[in-house]
């Protein structure tokens, strides 16, 4: 098993460069993980700078306590609570927000987290192990229709119905409580799969996204981050699968378009509605060298936008 310290931060320099850090600025690392981006941000901040780092995973917050830096504030909370938590810290505006989505290597590589079918372990999958239902608890009462919907919507699993029925059938012989049990059920239900992909890959992804409400959290966090950004502040997001990236791309695109001007009202050019965000460059992906060194980086997409002076 890999040690938690082996986590490799994806698109590290590109993401931190995109924040355009000012030495005296206030920045948010909304997904601390094991602190790769946070350490790089702190290295560029001056003595008057400040970094607020969020993570919903208690293990990540505990790991962050090893960083002895008065400029860093750790917050155990999901990034959807960004605005409320910053307000509690008397932070009204920030100069940059970074979101590195998905799961960290320790979450995947620590068997007890139950996020990987590579280990037979309790079927948990929660990012915040201090609250909420585990996947095993949810599967114990979910209907076939609910399981099918989750697998279809969050995993884009074309065999969602067959897998849902197989899970329900397996429950009649006892609870589905381990990753090994679930992987075996899915493997029997899936008739074919893409070369090189385990039959349970999409199901595990779907259940993890669902139990952690990852897409809903992201949909709440993006407008909250935009509201907290000072004019000229940067929103930097790294996505790892199409469902996340679709939400990020649509949000940035929509906010980079001005609201419609009132019909039949003569306006000067400087009176026309202006967008709240300005897109900066095209989406970026890791280079071949980074993917070779860290295969988990292969699906990463980096998008960057800058806050304008228009009120949210």
Q: Where are the domains of the chain?
A: 4-106+214-307, 129-211
Is 60 exceeded by the pLDDT of residue 4? no
Q: What is the C-alpha R_g of the chain?
A: 21
Mean pLDDT calculated for residue range 135-139: 97
Which of 232, 246, 217 is closest to 277 using CA atoms?
Answer: 232
The answer to whether the predicted template modeling score (pTM) of the entire model surpasses 0.85 is: yes
Is 80 exceeded by the pLDDT of residue 105? no
Which of 135, 99, 98, 132 is closest to 115 using CA atoms?
Answer: 135
CATH topology of domain 129-211: DNA polymerase; domain 1 (1.10.150)
Mean pLDDT calculated for residue range 209-229: 97
pLDDT for 110 equals 80
Least confident among 93-102, 138-147, 170-179, 272-281: 272-281
Query: DSSP secondary structure string, the chain?
Result: ---GGG---TTHHHHHHHTT--TT-EEEES--TTSHHHHHHHHH--TT-EEEEEES-HHHHHHHTT---TTEEEEES-GGGHHHHHHHTT---EEEEEEE-S--HHHHH-GGG---TTS--B----SSTTSS--HHHHHHH--HHHHHHHHHHHH--TTHHHHHHHHHHHHTTS---BHHHHHHHHHHH-----TT--TTHHHHHHHHHHHTTHHHHHHHHHHHHHHHEEEEEEEEEEE-SHHHHHHHHHHHHHHTSPPPPPTT----GGGS---SEEE-S--B---HHHHHH-GGGTT-EEEEEEE-SS--
pLDDT for 246 equals 97
Mean pLDDT calculated for residue range 26-55: 97
Mean pLDDT calculated for residue range 236-242: 95
pLDDT for 272 equals 58
pLDDT for 259 equals 67
| Residue numbering of the annotated binding site | 35-37, 55, 79, 100, 107
Phi, psi dihedrals of residue 266, rounded to the nearest 5°: -70, 125
Task: Categorize the per-residue pLDDT at 108 as very low, low, confident or very high, splitting at 50, 70 and 90.
Answer: confident
Is 60 exceeded by the pLDDT of residue 268? no
Is 70 exceeded by the pLDDT of residue 266? no
pLDDT for 113 equals 86
Q: Which residues contact 133 (CB under 8 A, 6 or more apart)?
A: 126, 211
Least confident among 30-34, 258-262, 269-273, 296-300: 269-273
Is 60 exceeded by the pLDDT of residue 25? yes
| Residue numbering of the annotated binding site for S-adenosyl-L-methionine | 35-37, 55, 79, 100, 107
Mean pLDDT calculated for residue range 135-140: 97
Where b means 16+ CB within 10 Å and e means fewer, 200-233 reads: bbbbbbbbbbbbbebbebbebbbebbbebbeeeb
Is 90 exceeded by the pLDDT of residue 118? no
Length of the chain: 312
Domain 4-106+214-307 grouped into CATH 3.40.50.150: yes
Least confident among 12-21, 152-161, 185-194: 185-194
């Amino acid at each position: 098993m890999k040690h938690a310290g082996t986590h490799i931060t994806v698109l590290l320099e590109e993401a931190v460069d995109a924040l355009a850090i000012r030495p005296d600025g206030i920045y948010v690392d909304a997904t601390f993980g094991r602190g790769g981006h946070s350490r790089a941000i702190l290295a560029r901040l001056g003595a008057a700078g400040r970094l607020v780092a969020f993570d919903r995973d208690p293990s990540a917050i505990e790991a962050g306590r090893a960083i002895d830096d008065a400029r860093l504030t750790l917050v155990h909370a999901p990034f959807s609570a960004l605005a409320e938590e910053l307000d509690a810290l008397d932070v009204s505006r920030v100069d940059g927000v970074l979101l590195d989505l998905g799961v960290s290597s320790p979450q995947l590589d620590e068997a007890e987290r139950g996020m990987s079918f590579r280990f037979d372990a309790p079927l948990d999958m929660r990012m915040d192990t201090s609250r909420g239902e585990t996947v095993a608890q949810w599967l114990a009462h979910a209907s076939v229709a609910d399981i099918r919907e989750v697998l279809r919507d969050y995993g884009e699993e074309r065999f969602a119905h067959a897998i849902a029925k197989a899970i329900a059938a397996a429950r009649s012989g006892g609870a589905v409580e381990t990753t090994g049990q679930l992987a075996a059920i899915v493997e029997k239900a899936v008739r074919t799969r893409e070369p090189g992909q385990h039959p349970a890959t999409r199901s595990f992804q779907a259940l993890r996204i669902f139990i952690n409400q990852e897409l809903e959290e992201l949909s709440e966090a993006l407008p909250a981050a935009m509201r907290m950004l000072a004019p000229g502040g940067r929103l930097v997001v790294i996505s790892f699968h199409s469902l996340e990236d679709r939400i990020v791309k649509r949000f940035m695109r929509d906010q980079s378009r001005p609201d419609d001007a009132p019909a039949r009202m003569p306006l000067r050019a400087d009176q026309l509605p202006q967008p709240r965000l300005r897109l900066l460059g095209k989406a970026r992906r890791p280079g071949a060298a980074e993917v070779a060194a860290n295969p988990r980086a292969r699906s990463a997409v980096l998008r960057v936008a800058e806050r304008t002076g228009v009120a949210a």
